[in-house]
Amino acid sequence: MPEHVKHIEWEDMDKRKFYLFGPTFFLGIRALLYPANLVKTRLQVQRKKALYNGSFDAFVKVIRFEGVRGLYKGFMVSSFGLLSGQFYITTLELIRARTKEYNNAVRGLLAGGCASLVGQTITVPVDVISQKLMVQGQGENTAKLKGASTIIREIIQSDGPLGLYRGYLISLMTYAPSSAIWWSTYGLYTGLVGNIVITGTPHMLVLAMAGTMAGFTTATLTNPLDIMRTRLQVGGGRSALVFQMFGSLLKEEGPKGLTKGLSARILAMVPSSLVMVLGYETVKRLSLKTSEKEIHVQEEGYLKASF
């Protein structure tokens, strides 16, 4: 990796600062990108009789029939996922700290996969509830909207407590590879971009470019799995039926069905990758121990004004 592209490690940070700034950052990102995630979810669950004709049409119709608030259906429930975010980044940084003998691509692959395993255990129940909130009241049918407590009660009555973990295995199959691919390609692209940019290019610009490329790559490669996960959690069924569901999708809609919601997924993941890199790296810098902060400022002269 080029000399000027440096990563802040777990031991460099003041953990009290880190756990203060982190949730604030993740809440901001969630609020910014939630509408794109809602649109992606609705596009992925619709079948042949489609209400929406693409991402833009979905945005327009949601606002027309449900108002701007319609773009944030389930947001409050989804925000409980911030807890999983803290477990996720803690696991990520701890695994990275213990795999320093490997290159950044391998460290990212291992850390991203393990972090997703921990995070999804907390996130899946939140996803199950928030996605059901997202898809209700579509089009002109805005009557009789259910609250989160009603949805939870109905899930437990019909499927038991394990119903809240519907799609857990497919979520792991989606997000563990997604997380592993993202952090691995992020490490890979950081090195590649760092090697081709001119000397003196701002550190954060290199990371931003790498994060954007990683987001596009990950969104494209994992979209079919995300479709399966979303349909399973919204429509019901067992994770064991994923392969049948996959075959049914190909039979009914053809290979094009595997790209459903891809543009909305890219629209959500690429900007989120950019914002996450800039925000997360800023959080890490704000969380630096005083002695480490002075070292990093000296190493990255263009950042002196930030501190």
CATH class given for the domain over 15-287: mainly alpha
Please report, rounded to a whole number, the percentage of residues in the chain having pLDDT higher than 90. Answer: 23
Secondary structure element (H or E) that encloses residue 244, with its range: helix 242-253
Measured in degrees and rounded to the nearest 5, phi and psi for residue 149 equal -65, -40
Distance (Å, whole) CA 124 – CA 77: 12
Q: Answer with the residue of higher pLDDT: 145 or 87.
A: 87
> How much is the mean pLDDT over the chain?
82
List pLDDT tens digits, range 219-252.
Answer: 999 888 888 777 776 765 555 466 677 777 788 7
Contact in structure between 215 and 274 (CB atoms under 8 Å): yes
Is this structure's pTM higher than 0.75?
no
Question: pLDDT digits over 178-219, tens only?
Answer: 999 999 999 999 989 988 888 788 888 999 999 999 999 999
Q: Domain residue spans in the chain? A: 15-287
Q: What pLDDT sits at residue 108? A: 93
